[in-house]
Amino acid sequence: MIEGVSLFEIMSLTTILFFIGIYGFLTRTNLIAMLMSLELMVNAEAINFVAINKYLSPAVLQGQVFSLFIIALAAAETALALAIILHLYRLTTTIDVKEVEELKY
Amino acid sequence: MNLDSLMLMRDEWFLTAVIMLLLIAEVLLSAKNKKYIIQLALILFGAYTISAFLPNDTGALFGSSYKTYPLVHYFKAILAFGVFIILLQSVNWLKEKLLPYDFTAEFFILIFSSLLGLNFMMSAGDFLMFYIGLELSTMPIIALTAFEFWNHRSVEAGVKYILLASISSAILLFGVSLVYATAGSINFDVIKNALQLPLLEIIGLIMIFIGIGFKISLVPFHFWAADVYEGAPTVISNYLSVISKGGAVYVLMTLLFVTFTAFQKEWNWIMYGTAILTMVVGNLFALRQQNMKRFLAFSSIAQAGFILLAMLSNNELGVKAIIYFLLIYIFSNVAAFGVVHVISLKTGKENIDDYNGLYRTNPKLSLVLMIALFSLAGIPPVAGFFAKFFLYAAAASKGYYVLIFIAVLNVTVSLYYYLLPVRAAFLRVSDHPIPFFKSDNYSRLAFIITMIGLLVLGLYSGVFEFISGISNIF
Amino acid sequence: MDILSLFVVVPVVIVLAMVLFTKNLKQARMVALAGMLMQLIMSVNLIVKYLNAREAGDQSIMLFQKNIPWFAEFNAHYHIGVDGVSVLMILLTTLIVIAGIFVSWKIQPLSKEFFISLIVLATGVYGFFISLDLFTMFVFYEIAVIPMYLLIGIWGSGPREYAAMKLTLMLMGASALLLVALLGIYFTSSVGGQAPTFDILELAQREMPYDWQKIFYPLAFIGFGTIGALFPFHTWSPDGHASAPTAVSMLHAGVLMKLGGYGIFRFAMFLMPEGALFWQDFFLILAVTGVTYGALSAIQQTDLKYINAYSSVSHLGLVLFALLMINKTAWNGAMLQSLSHGFITALFFALIGMIYGRTHVRDITKMQGMMRIVPLLSVAYVVAALANLGLPGFSGFVAEMNIFVGGFLNQDLYKQALTVFAVTSIVVTAVYMLRLTGRMIFGPTTKVYTGLPKAFWYEKTAIAILVLFITLIGTLPFWWLQFIEDSVNNFIQPLIK
Amino acid sequence: MNAFSYIYLIPLIPLLAFLFLGFTAKKIKEPVSGYIGTAGLLSVFGLSLYTAYKYFFEVGLVNGKYEPYKVMIKEAWVHFTDKLAIDLGILIDPISVMMLIVVSTVSLMVHIYSLGYMHSDTGFSRFYAYLSLFTFSMLGLVLSSNLFMIYIFWELVGVSSFLLIGFYFEKPSAVAASKKAFIVTRFADMFFLIGILMVGYFGQSFDFETLNSPSTYETIQAWIVNHQIFSFMGLSLFTWALILVYIGGMGKSAMFPLHIWLPDAMEGPTPVSALIHAATMVVAGVYLVARLFPLYYHIEGGTALQVVAVVGAFSALFAAIIALTQEDIKRVLAFSTMSQIGYMMLALGVSGFEGHEGLGYMAGMFHLFTHAMFKALLFLTAGAIIHAVHSNFMKDMGGLHKYMPVSSIVFLIAALAISGIPPFAGFFSKDEILTAAFEYNKFIWFIGFLVAGMTAFYMFRLYFRIFFNKQTDYGDHKPHEAPKTMLIAMVFLAVMTVVSGFIPFSTFVSADHKIFHSHIHWGDPLVIASILMAASGIGIAYLMYYKETAYPQKVATSMGNGYKWAKNKFYFDELYIFITHKIIFDKISKPIAWFDRNVIDGFMNLLGVTVEKTAEKIRFIQTGRMQDYAMYFVSGVIAIVMLIVYFR
Amino acid sequence: MFYLLSAIIIGFAVLSVTSSKLYRATMYLLFVLIAVSGLYFMLEYNFMGAVQLSVYAGGIMVLFIYAVMMTDKIGEPMRSISNKRKILPVVVTIGTAALAIYAIYSYQGIAATKEATVTTVEQIGSKLLTYEAGGFVLPFEVISILLLAAMIGAIVIAKAKKLVNQEKN
């Protein structure tokens, strides 16, 4: 725990960060930018887990280990996503989100 | 901890072994012999499927982060069986499309890992395992969705799927963190007794629900499903609509019935609304679809709505109904998708209008399609009827008659669109019908298995009795 | 295998035999006919056995019962058994299917599939008539409904796709209501800690709570009523009949629509007597409206099949009307009317099909003087018309008289007045039937149609079967009524307590 | 068993003849089918005579009262309740035996007559089949022991009448007439049926013997007194039941206002008109009232019987007026029939019950009997004439006496009989009716009296215009006397017409089944008046029509609209067509059919269309944009949370 | 210090999702990630901080930058959606965030903080290899399969284009 800083503040921070990510996801027109917004969200969660663990149940390391796994999974996910996005780029030479609006209705 | 107790996990071990063996085979086999990978994979997986049906004990491993009991064990076997049928159907596709690129082994490895992920997810005893299982089941399948890499639609589906899956899992994870904050643990057993239901926790639980709902494709989290199913290779759409959905339903069921029992009252409100929304929206969207895959996607969304009926019951009857329904649903949907797959592979036609006059040229295929669709619509004597009936019964056991009423009205609507392909195939004639062709033996075997399943499982009550014998998970 | 299960098993075997071994029209129809003749032998045998059993003093409500647990978990059993009414209904089904096979002697295309669907439909109907368990009953009910879609859709005429879809959806929608009612009955039957059950004989012993009866009875009534052409849920029937191929119209109007009245008699009212009494007046109005309304609508129709469809609405309205009157006489009439209407309307549709097959016209303004062209068919048509308007000597009369007398025997002036209202239908029926025969059968011959072939032997056979039974019921009603009375006496008990 | 156990043969023989002829109509050629039918009828005739003899002279009379005999054929043919059932039985009592004689005689004569009349008609066998069917139904009707059974045969005679009127089914007018006849009588039958239901409900029996027994009507009478509330327009429901039953009779017997089918029914072959529409079926209404006479008489002081009398009197007058103006000879006869049946109804209506008071009843039955003979004769003769000149219209006739002397004479006999000139049969019966009416009500008597004169006038108008009047030029196609078979029938009936008046009817038929004696008092002013009335009618007709004169034209013009209305039957056909077509078809049925197709069906279709439209619309929610999907995710969270918070 | 970090995180996060230049956005994201690692250090979870720096700021960001450089025409601003279509996302995100923060502050359980402890690498290591209760050896093993699968998937798709081209030639 950080002296003088309560969990409320940390969680508010992560919540705001999370929703900034969501906002980014909702408004970005570029697939990579959307992916970056996702990273913001994942980070928010990782902080959450660590902070909650540190503040509320420091004896058990569940949250802290969880956040490690989150990072690992985020890495894998990002790698896969980027591979697909890049493949799309090679097919269409653009990564605008408009390119993936063909399947609809 | 000894070897015996590790055998509790043998479903997972065996599947991992299959994956590893395939990996090794891929490396060892010379380019000329690569085509045997298909047979090898089928044999290995077949062996695994058979082993999965052998009985297993109840127990928990790794500090109860892994749990097994008969129901989950046999449900894994059911899923494995479903995957096996899907694999049978996919052989021809693999031979034609993937073998030239030498991606067959990868296909099998990815699909098996996904199944492995589902297995872990269903057996998970804490949120970490649950989350990892979820991701493990999703990520390979995303790769597979984009596997027809020469096809823009397939890639688009892949992009949509990975981005939406990521955001849904992000939301789920945020929810988990909130629950972790309030309940103080990620272990289900602990959480079960620690639920106090402050607002924060409710938000967390709802976010978890949304994460799972995304995988089951409940309304309003269903939008990805249609697009992805349509774009993905048919085999993968098939897998997504039955196997991955089935696993997610199972998890939702265990979470609801076992872990979040304290949340019962609120759950029911959510379920009630979501069930209606899902049925109605799924049906209405399916009504006007031309593309068969998209059509089946919406149909499977609507089916998810029906499953929620039984989720409301929160009793053993509900468990039975859900498991039985999923079993039948696997057979029906796999058969339906199988027909679409076979035809699409032979002729590239996927629209309902293209099916005009199908019965005159391909009577057997049309019959399979009809029986499968009737089963989805819930018409006796096909098994789907019994499955749906038990879902209603489960809901009725708690007195949700109004909901059942809405559901049965929806069944009527759904009957309309399920009859549309039947109408095209049987009632109509076409100047350019799909020409006669012979399906390959693997697909035929798959069709025969599904047909036997659909016609026998309902009339013969033994399977249901067996399921009800093991469905006390409370 | 017990004698009742055979009624379901034999058709399934026929279907399998047709699927596996037959190739063309000839083989298919021979197999179908042979199978149905076997059914006929079994039906007659059943009647004999039934009479013997009653003779021997077997007083149980249902004879030849067989009770096998099906979904033991749900207490859903395969429970079958017959009483007088079901015995007759089975005979009716058999005869009409046989007549239907004769009528479709030259069906094209996809002949084999036609007979398969027809027999599947019949299987469902047989099953429905023998089942004593709501679950079994419902399963068979839906089996009977769904082949209709293919039968109308593939072999129908006119807007067949629309009609098939409408019919299927409306009937399935109705069965949806039924399903809710069924589950409701099931779960409310666990009063006093007993296991809930679908078994009607057992359910009748348990008293369902009054409040629930009030809720579920209308659902069940409308569910069954829709297939029994209850106003205003009857609109599937004109379109469906008009588009259906001949044999299907026969089977549908002749047998399938009887499922409605039979279901109400056997299940809805028997299990929910208090609900039935509560809703009696309301549904009576619907039924009486249907009776006169159907008849009046028929006056305006020019399509033969539409006339008949509306006539069915009217006559089956009488069945519902009689059932709602809740006394023995009326119920006897209801069941007899079901039987009678089955034969008469089947005869009608058979004849319409034969005439249509020759002239390719069903509009009565477009053909005249058929008497000179196809005398036998015309005479049969006149016979059917007379039977339909309730001429003594034919089946319609005795049935309707039972209904009217039964209706009038109520102490209640309101019901007597409604009966009087229903009686007016006999005049209106005469009007449209005579208008039809006057336009089509009699009058100067339309030139275009001279030289059309006379009736073929298989058509004659079909007609003969149906006319024979119409007359048999009309002249020997007491023989038929003994079956019905036996059944009615038991099933009316909860209602007149 | 009783003495009449063979009696079921009487209806059975024609039935078998019908079935046989019906099934072999194609194979058996003329005249064999005619012989079969006639032979059947001959045996029926024999049996009837035997029955009459046996009943009236051997077994029937017990202590001055005719005891009914009942032969049960099938008890509880249809079982309604323990008390109510349709029993198939045969009731033998004076009126049924009397009707038996009437039906079998006339039917036999018509059978014989038709051998000649229907010669070389394509439908010869069919005709005999129908005739047998009709005879069967009519015999069944008269022998019925049960109210419901009478209804059964009531319907059957209706349908055989329908078939016979529409015998020439290629002629649109015949088809229309048959349809009309059936529907109008069916309409009346509906009331009859309702009446039966009510009688059954209140009387708790359908059996005539039970219903007519004193205990029943006393019970009912007591019930009426105790249950004043069960009344409608001041009359008790049971009286209404009887009136409804009578409406059934009105339909069959062509009483005003349900008479419109009878003139049109003349489209059928003439022998049929003679049999059905003159002698037998049309008097079924009279017979029905006579059958239930004790009920009619005793319930509520005979209110229902008053209705019978009034309707009968009015119909008699009404029909006579129309008959004065008709040109078609069969129509004149038809209206005459209607008028005479009105007479019979009147007679029943004015009758008392016991002893001499029951004179009206006896007279009605008597008139029924004699009328059957002479009216059948008139029709058969008319048939012979039509056969000869191939026209129905008086304008095409004239001076036929010299071509057809026999016909002319028998026609004269019949005309005198119907006019009420002694010693012909009509005189005796008609005079007794008038006597009874006079005792009952002077006004009704006056109507009857007036009608008697009019009858004489129009009958002789007919006679003179056919056989004398102008000498029409028939071209090469000279009229000739009818063939022998036809003449035999006509002469036989003529003999009957002459002799039947002398039957001491009151010793056989009476309301209470007890013998009484009635005599004509020749010096009675009533008798003299009525003979004078008839004679004057004949005289006027002679003046106007024996030679071609201008009087008829003058009279017609002087009557103005009255003549026009009468000639057009007071526009009743038009009124009915207006009611049925314009009101029922166009204003009720058509809207209902429209309502069904557009509103009810439209509603069902609307459901479907709405669902489809909605589906089409909401499809566009799925935009294909991932961000929109994510948007729904997040909104979903917010929505669910809000709902939960709200509902908690 | 915490507030400074918070300001950096939020500020750069906002910039990262609003910047119209993709490359710049990537850089902003990098700053956010580094700041987050600072937060871990503050929370005395040094291992995590290191992992964050190396895996995230090091590995993942390199991937991003690589991808951006491959696909983006640097300097060209991204297409941005109209302001009208931003309204709803703003409302929804702010609304949900407000709701969540309200929920956080209304939950008093959070206030019950425990003594601070330092998490050492050994602790983490032993937890990851313990199979008793509280151990994480199973997830640790399973995630390896996950990484394998993700790797295979990524490789297949990455290889794909080449193969398709070969096919064409």
Question: pLDDT of C189-245, one tens digit each?
Answer: 877 777 888 888 888 888 788 888 888 999 999 999 998 888 888 888 888 888 888
Question: How many angstroms separate the CA of residue B439 from the nearest CA in chain C?
Answer: 20
* Tokens found for residue D53: 């003899």
Q: Report CB contact under 8 Å: C409, D179.
A: no
- Give a yes or no: residue E158 inside a domain: yes
Distance CA C225, CA C32 (A): 31
Contact status of B415 with chain C (Cβ, < 8 Å): yes
Q: Which of B304, B284, B300, B379 lies closest to B334 in space, CA to CA?
A: B300
Q: Report CB contact under 8 Å: E95, D638.
A: yes
Distance CA B257, CA B249 (A): 12
Q: Sorting pLDDT into bands at 50, 70 and 90, what band is B438?
A: confident
Q: Which residues lie closer than 8 Å to D561 by C-beta, 6 or more apart?
A: none
Question: How many angstroms separate the CA of residue C451 from the nearest CA in chain D?
Answer: 17
Q: What is the pLDDT of residues D124-181, one digit of tens each?
A: 888 888 888 999 999 989 888 888 889 989 889 888 888 888 888 888 888 888 888 8
Contact status of E119 with chain A (Cβ, < 8 Å): yes
H-run or E-run covering D156: helix D147-165
Report the mean per-residue pLDDT for chain E.
Answer: 83
Which residue(s) pair with B187 in the sheet? B126
Ramachandran class of A95: left when φ > 0, alpha when ψ lies in -120 to 50, beta otherwise = alpha
Contact status of B299 with chain D (Cβ, < 8 Å): no
E chain contacts of residue A91, beta-carbon cutoff 8 Å: 161
- Furthest-apart CA atoms within chain A: distance in Å: 54
- Give a yes or no: residue E108 inside a domain: no
Please, what is the Cα angle at D81 between D75 and D83, to 5 degrees? 70
> Residue D169: phi, psi to the nearest 5?
-75, -5
Q: Report CB contact under 8 Å: A100, B156.
A: yes
Q: Sorting pLDDT into bands at 50, 70 and 90, what band is E72?
A: low
Distances (CA, A) of B125 to B250, B258, D508: 14, 11, 108
B380: nearest CB among C74, C143, C183: C143
B chain contacts of residue A44, beta-carbon cutoff 8 Å: 174
Question: How many angstroms separate the CA of residue B278 from the nearest CA in chain E?
Answer: 22
Distance CA B417, CA D35 (A): 68
- Give a yes or no: residue E98 inside a domain: no
Q: Is the pLDDT of residue B117 over 90?
A: yes
Q: Sorting pLDDT into bands at 50, 70 and 90, what band is E121?
A: confident
Residue with tokens 């069916």: D186
B149: nearest CB among A38, A57, A87: A87
Q: Is the pLDDT of residue E168 over 70?
A: no
- Give a yes or no: residue E20 inside a domain: yes
- Give a yes or no: residue A29 inside a domain: yes
First to last CA, chain E: 60
Q: Sorting pLDDT into bands at 50, 70 and 90, what band is D85?
A: confident
- CATH of residue A40's domain is 1.10.287.3510
Q: Report CB contact under 8 Å: B287, D645.
A: no
D chain contacts of residue E94, beta-carbon cutoff 8 Å: none
- DSSP code string of D447-478: HHHHHHHHHHHHHHHHHHHHHSSS----TTS-
What one-letter code names the amino acid at E83? N
Beta-carbon pairs below 8 A across chains D and E:
14
Chains with ≥3 CB–CB distances under 8 Å to C: B, D
C391: nearest CB among D159, D166, D201: D159
Q: Report CB contact under 8 Å: E146, B62.
A: no
- Give a yes or no: residue A23 inside a domain: yes
Contact status of E152 with chain B (Cβ, < 8 Å): yes
Ramachandran class of B200: left when φ > 0, alpha when ψ lies in -120 to 50, beta otherwise = alpha
Stretch among B408-417, C89-98, D431-440 having the lowest mean pLDDT: D431-440
Distance CA D587, CA D363 (A): 46
A chain contacts of residue D635, beta-carbon cutoff 8 Å: none
- Give a yes or no: residue E115 inside a domain: no
Q: Sorting pLDDT into bands at 50, 70 and 90, what band is B332?
A: very high
Q: What is the pLDDT of residues B158-174, one digit of tens each?
A: 999 999 999 999 999 99
pLDDT by residue for chain C (497 residues), tens only, comes to: 688 888 888 888 888 888 888 888 888 888 888 989 999 999 999 999 889 888 888 888 888 888 888 888 788 888 888 888 889 999 999 999 999 888 888 887 888 888 888 889 999 999 999 998 988 889 899 888 888 888 888 888 888 888 888 888 888 888 888 888 988 888 888 777 778 888 888 888 887 888 888 889 999 999 999 988 888 888 888 888 888 888 888 888 888 888 888 999 888 888 888 888 899 889 999 999 889 888 888 888 888 888 888 898 899 999 999 998 888 889 999 999 999 999 999 998 999 888 888 888 888 888 888 888 888 888 899 899 999 988 888 888 888 888 988 888 888 888 888 888 888 888 888 888 888 888 888 888 877 777 788 888 888 888 998 999 999 988 888 888 888 888 888 888 888 87
- Give a yes or no: residue E14 inside a domain: yes
Contact status of E161 with chain B (Cβ, < 8 Å): yes
The pLDDT, as a whole number, for residue D205 is 84
Task: For residues A5-16, give the mean pLDDT.
Answer: 88
* Tokens found for residue C253: 């109007």
CB D632 within 8 Å of CB B223:
yes
CB D51 within 8 Å of CB D10:
yes
The pLDDT, as a whole number, for residue D559 is 77
- Give a yes or no: residue A2 inside a domain: no
Q: Sorting pLDDT into bands at 50, 70 and 90, what band is E162?
A: low
| Domain with A98 in it | 7-102
Q: Domain boundary residue among E57, E78, E99?
A: E78
Prior bond to B220 cis, omega within 30? Answer: yes
Beta-carbon pairs below 8 A across chains A and D:
30
Question: How many angstroms separate the CA of residue D642 from the nearest CA in chain E?
Answer: 9
Name which of E99, E101, E104, E106 to mutate to probe chain D: the one with the most chain D Cβ atoms within 10 A of its Cβ. Answer: E99
Task: For residues E55-65, give the mean pLDDT.
Answer: 87
- Give a yes or no: residue E160 inside a domain: yes
Prior bond to C109 cis, omega within 30? Answer: yes
CB B136 within 8 Å of CB B210:
no
B chain contacts of residue D604, beta-carbon cutoff 8 Å: none
Task: Find the closest chain B residue to D614 by CA distance.
Answer: B284
> Residue D612: phi, psi to the nearest 5?
-65, -45
Q: Sorting pLDDT into bands at 50, 70 and 90, what band is E13?
A: very high
Burial D162-197 (b: 16+ CB within 10 A, else e): bbbbbbbbbebebbbbbbbbbbbbbbbbbbbbbbbb
> Do C and E make contact, counting contact as 3+ CB pairs within 8 angstroms?
no
Q: Is A96 helix (H, G, I), strand (E, B) or coil?
A: strand
Sign of the CA dihedral with D299 first, then D300, D306, and D307 last: negative
Q: Domain boundary residue among E46, E61, E78?
A: E78
Q: Which residues lie closer than 8 Å to B43 by C-beta, 6 or more apart?
A: none
The pLDDT, as a whole number, for residue C105 is 86
Task: For residues E101-111, give the mean pLDDT.
Answer: 83
Distance CA D11, CA D150 (A): 13
Distance CA B442, CA B463 (A): 25
Residue with tokens 């390391």: A61
Stretch among B203-212, B322-331, D345-354, D463-472 having the lowest mean pLDDT: D463-472
- Give a yes or no: residue B474 inside a domain: no
* Tokens found for residue B144: 């597979």
Sign of the CA dihedral with E14 first, then E18, E19, and E23 last: positive
| Domain with E126 in it | 120-169
CB C463 within 8 Å of CB C381:
no
Number of domains in chain B: 1
Residue E136 DSSP symbol: -
Q: Sorting pLDDT into bands at 50, 70 and 90, what band is B88?
A: very high
Burial E91-116 (b: 16+ CB within 10 A, else e): ebbebbbebbbebbeebeebeeeeee
Q: Is C40 helix (H, G, I), strand (E, B) or coil?
A: helix
Q: Is B378 helix (H, G, I), strand (E, B) or coil?
A: coil
Rounded to the nearest 5 percent, the helix, strand and coil shares of chain A are 80, 0, 20
* Tokens found for residue B312: 């409301």
Predicted TM-score (pTM) of the model is: 0.90
B146: nearest CB among A44, A56, A84: A84
CB B414 within 8 Å of CB B283:
yes
Name which of D167, D185, D197 to mutate to probe chain C: the one with the most chain C Cβ atoms within 10 A of its Cβ. Answer: D197
Distance CA D204, CA D216 (A): 9
* Tokens found for residue A6: 């309560």
Q: Which residues lie closer than 8 Å to C456 by C-beta, 6 or more apart?
A: C105
User: Could you tell me how many residues make up chain C?
Assistant: 497
The pLDDT, as a whole number, for residue C40 is 92
Distance CA D202, CA C413 (A): 13
Distance CA D567, CA D325 (A): 5
Name which of C172, C235, C409, C482 to mutate to probe chain D: the one with the most chain D Cβ atoms within 10 A of its Cβ. Answer: C235
Q: Is the pLDDT of residue D64 over 80?
A: no
Percent over 70 (pLDDT), chain B: 100
The pLDDT, as a whole number, for residue D640 is 85
D231-232 and D235-236 strand pairing: antiparallel
CB D286 within 8 Å of CB D249:
yes
The pLDDT, as a whole number, for residue B81 is 93
Prior bond to D483 cis, omega within 30? Answer: no
The pLDDT, as a whole number, for residue E167 is 59
Interface predicted TM-score (ipTM): 0.88
E chain contacts of residue B162, beta-carbon cutoff 8 Å: none
Distance CA D103, CA C380 (A): 30
Report the mean per-residue pLDDT for chain D.
Answer: 84
Q: Report CB contact under 8 Å: E89, D627.
A: yes
> Residue D93: phi, psi to the nearest 5?
-145, 180
Q: Which of E138, E134, E123 lies closest to B186 in space, CA to CA?
A: E134
The answer to whether residues E1 and E74 belong to one domain is: yes
Sign of the CA dihedral with B245 first, then B251, B256, and B262 last: negative
Chains with ≥3 CB–CB distances under 8 Å to B: A, C, D, E
- Give a yes or no: residue E83 inside a domain: no
How many Cα atoms occupy the beta-carbon half-sphere of C311 within 13 Å? 38
Task: Find the closest chain B residue to E136 by CA distance.
Answer: B62
| Domain with B102 in it | 3-469
Distance CA B340, CA B292 (A): 7
Report the mean per-residue pLDDT for chain B.
Answer: 88
The pLDDT, as a whole number, for residue B120 is 92
Number of domains in chain E: 2
Sign of the CA dihedral with E37 first, then E38, E42, and E44 last: positive
Residue with tokens 């009449």: D4
Residues 27-86 of D with CB under 8 A from C: 74, 76-81, 84, 86
Question: How many angstroms separate the CA of residue B70 from the nearest CA in chain D?
Answer: 34
First to last CA, chain B: 26
